Amino acid sequence: MQRRDFIALAAAGIAAPWARAQTGWPAQQIRWVVPYPAGGGTDVLARAISEAMRPLLNQQPIVVDNRPGAATNIGAELVARAKPDGYTVMSADNAVLAFNEHLFSKLPFSPEKDFSYIGAFGRFPLALVVHPDFPAKTFKDFLAWARANPGKLNYASPGNGSPHHLAMELFKTRTGSFITHIPYRGAAPAMQDVMGGQVPCMFLDLPAGLPVIQSGKVRALAIGSARRVAQLPDLPTLAELGVKDSEVYAFQGLLGPAGLPADVVTQLNGAINQALRDPGVVKRMQDYGMEAQPGTPRQFLDMARAESRRWGQVIKAAGVKLD
């Protein structure tokens, strides 16, 4: 092929698959870091998506490596310092991408500069739930009760700086209510105490929340999404209920260390977008109430930085710090 012909084909996008194939990547297994313990929603989703991606990446094994701790900073630092060869990637969520740079006075990495943004997976909204015996049966009554009893209403969360915690802090700002935070060590014990009535309410993510909402173990009052979700069609959004600018999502995507070769990023991004159409992945995401977000690396980066700016304001206003 003449050089001028190759350039013309590349400009038209025709030569791209041929050019990528010449790199020989991947030629060995890929390590996929999950900064949470095994068995949680992030871990399960990573395993489902990585399995669907494997046939698209030369059938190379993709091995999930759980590295929990320090509010996801342990796993994130490991990936930020990894060799940028495409063989170490990670599942990243709100903590790595938007929260921690505002929650910690010092981080061992920069979310903007020390990672290659590969692609988003999707996002799932959080729902405001209460114990079934809580006296307020509707959102309107809940808000009236909270405003009439400042400081007397407690809410649970999986821990300081979690999406659930910050969702309620945003809610408090938007509604002028005073609700006291009770942090737990994980989502499961927080949810158990709300179901048991020890703490009356919390924002609950749909992967964990759908089964207990549908079974009546907690009562959902509102959903923090832009639109109602198919799994709970009768549950109104916060915006419908008059709480503006109150969307609260947990979102996830794939990162690698800064400096990943452009062709590797392109292959991984294409594999993610195709995996999001895999029937098994689609079902898993539907079960979790998760909205798929296929797109480009640039769209993922822009979304993450916008979320960081948004939540940085909430964190500063609430005075939340983790060190």
> pLDDT tens per residue, the chain (323 residues)?
333 433 333 333 333 343 344 468 999 999 999 998 888 778 889 999 999 999 999 999 999 999 998 889 999 999 999 999 999 999 999 999 999 999 999 999 999 999 999 999 999 889 999 999 999 999 999 999 999 988 899 999 988 899 999 999 999 999 999 999 999 988 889 999 999 999 999 999 888 888 999 999 999 999 999 899 988 999 999 999 999 988 998 899 999 999 999 999 999 999 999 999 999 999 888 887 888 999 999 999 999 999 999 999 999 998 999 88
Q: Which CATH architecture has domain 3-124+250-318?
A: 3-Layer(aba) Sandwich (3.40)
Question: Which of 87, 90, 83, 42 is closest to 65 using CA atoms?
Answer: 90
Looking at residue 234, its pLDDT comes to: 95
Question: In angstroms, what CA-CA distances link 33 with 38, 46, 76, 90, 263?
Answer: 11, 9, 8, 4, 21
Rg (C-alpha) for the chain, rounded Å, is: 21
Q: Return left, alpha or beta for 72; rule: phi > 0 is left, psi -120 to 50 is alpha, else beta.
A: left
The DSSP secondary structure of 37-48, one letter per residue, reads -TTSHHHHHHHH
Residues linked to residue 252 through DSSP beta bridges, in sequence order: 93, 122
The hierarchical CATH code for the domain 125-223 is 3.40.190.10
Residue pair 130/139 in contact (Cβ under 8 Å)? The answer is: no
With H, G, I as helix, E, B as strand and everything else as coil, classify residue 13. Answer: coil
CA dihedral 139, 144, 150, 156 (to 10 degrees): -10
Q: Where are the domains of the chain?
A: 3-124+250-318, 125-223
With H, G, I as helix, E, B as strand and everything else as coil, classify residue 24. Answer: coil
Chain mean position to CA 33: 15
Cα–Cα distance, 15 to 17 (Å, whole number): 6
Residues linked to residue 31 through DSSP beta bridges, in sequence order: 63, 88
Residue pair 313/173 in contact (Cβ under 8 Å)? The answer is: no
Does 3-124+250-318 match 125-223 in CATH topology?
Answer: yes
Read off the pTM: 0.84
Residue pair 111/304 in contact (Cβ under 8 Å)? The answer is: yes
Cα–Cα distance, 219 to 133 (Å, whole number): 9
**Who contacts 204 (Cβ-Cβ below 8 Å, separation ≥6)?**
126, 127, 128, 129, 164, 187, 191, 194, 212, 213, 218
